[in-house]
Structure 1
Amino acid sequence: MPYRQFEEYNIQVTDEVKSKFKAIISDLGEDVNREGILKTPERAAKAMQFLTQGYDQDAAAILKGAMFAESYDDMVIVKNIELYSLCEHHMLPFFGKAHIAYIPNGHIVGLSKLPRIVDVFARRLQVQERLTHDILECINNTLKPQGVAVVIEASHMCMMMRGVQKQNSTTTTSGFRGQFEKIETRTEFLRLISADLSN
């Protein structure tokens, strides 16, 4: 049986965005009736809905759906979480990795939920600074841990493809709450996300 991909999109939104993309492509000087471009407005409309699906998702509800009572009270780290987002200034991609840690306070959360909430906030028009803050505050306010830390390292196509055109630049943002505001806890976290534990 051949591979089939099933995706659902709001037909009205798809049609409206499609017509706008068609106009933009035409205004830029391309022939919208050319074979290779003919279906591009619709594909672009669907792609944008996929890349901004986070507006329709509730990160706090995702966390609440997988919280478990547990007495463990040491640091939990999920690092190297891939993220892909769109810069709200130029609507060009930025991408990289998020590192998240928390210290439980009576409850832990299913580990897969931390990457899920990264995706929820990344799948919106974003700036890296707010993305870091959104993830941090969602975990802090929902899980209510003893502490939470988030570090994001990303490359921005708006700097690499246009503007200053610095292909090797990366941006790092961080946020800390609770126990991670203490230098010794923060230092341990930063050491662990930098370490190659496979050796």
Structure 2
Amino acid sequence: MKEHYAEILRAIGEDLNRPGLKDTPARAAKAMEFLTRGYNQTIDEVVNDALFPSDSSEMIIVKDIELYSMCEHHLLPFIGKAHVAYIPTGKVVGLSKVARIVDMFARRLQIQEQLTVQIAETVKQVTGAEGVGVIIEAKHMCMMMRGVEKQNSVMKTSAMLGTFRDNQATRTEFLSLIR
């Protein structure tokens, strides 16, 4: 990857021997590995058996989970927050695991629409929840730094599964609690 970054820098007309760029190809390769580390994770590693028996059947929400991802179309960041809710049926997942699930999928080349669905489906699969709701709000550098250059635009996506899709009252409760 380091050699490819060096070639990109040469292709844009940069001098790789100037002091500020001497180690840039290696740093850029290391940064890209970090930004896409979700490819090297599995859901089993992320959850790490942190499922606990619970009699709760009330909505659980983890709100304002910051996320950093990379647009698969332009390789530019999108930055925002995720709100994840589920209604358990006999077991709950450790609180930090919800954020780790968000990170695992966000740290891959993505489109926000797919990221939202991946998180929802995975939380449902892991917990066996009666329903799952996920909303993501993010600013996309591909829209802010290039193209249309709209600085204040925010994209919102949602995925509603089970009772969050089928029951208007459940969806309304979720939406009111994340406001």
Q: Do the structures match in fold with TM over 0.5?
A: yes
Contact 1:77–1:99 (Cα < 8 Å) also in 2: yes
* Cα distance in 2, alignment partners of residues 187 and 134 from structure 1: 22
Secondary structure at 2:147 match in 1: coil
Structure 1 partner of 2:134: 150
Task: State the identity as a percent.
Answer: 57
TM-score (norm 2): 0.97
* Cα distance in 2, alignment partners of residues 187 and 60 from structure 1: 32
Change (3 A) 1:28 1:166: same
Aligned partner (choices 71, 79, 92) of residue 108 of structure 1: 92
Q: How many residues align?
A: 178
* Cα distance in 2, alignment partners of residues 27 and 58 from structure 1: 36
Structure 1 partner of 2:177: 192
Q: Following TM superposition, where does structure 1 have runs of at least 4 consecutive aligned residues deviating by more than 2 angstroms?
A: 59-64
Deviations 1:27-81 (A, max 9, x none): 1001111000000000000000000000010124423510001111100000000
* Cα distance in 2, alignment partners of residues 127 and 62 from structure 1: 21
* Cα distance in 1, alignment partners of residues 126 and 48 from structure 2: 7
Alignment of 1:70-149 (within 5 A): 70-149=54-133
Contact 1:60–1:138 (Cα < 8 Å) also in 2: no
Amino acid at match of 2:119: I
Structure 2 partner of 1:8: none
Structure 2 partner of 1:62: 46
Amino acid at match of 1:35: P
Amino acid at match of 1:74: E
Secondary structure at 1:26 match in 2: helix
* Cα distance in 2, alignment partners of residues 120 and 168 from structure 1: 27
Structure 2: 5+ residue stretches without partners: none
Secondary structure at 2:84 match in 1: strand
Matched, 1:47 2:47: no
Deviations 1:105-156 (A, max 9, x none): 0001110100001000000000000100110111111211111100000000
Q: What's the C-alpha RMSD, in Å, of the aligned pairs?
A: 0.8
TM-score (norm 1): 0.88
* Cα distance in 2, alignment partners of residues 103 and 57 from structure 1: 26
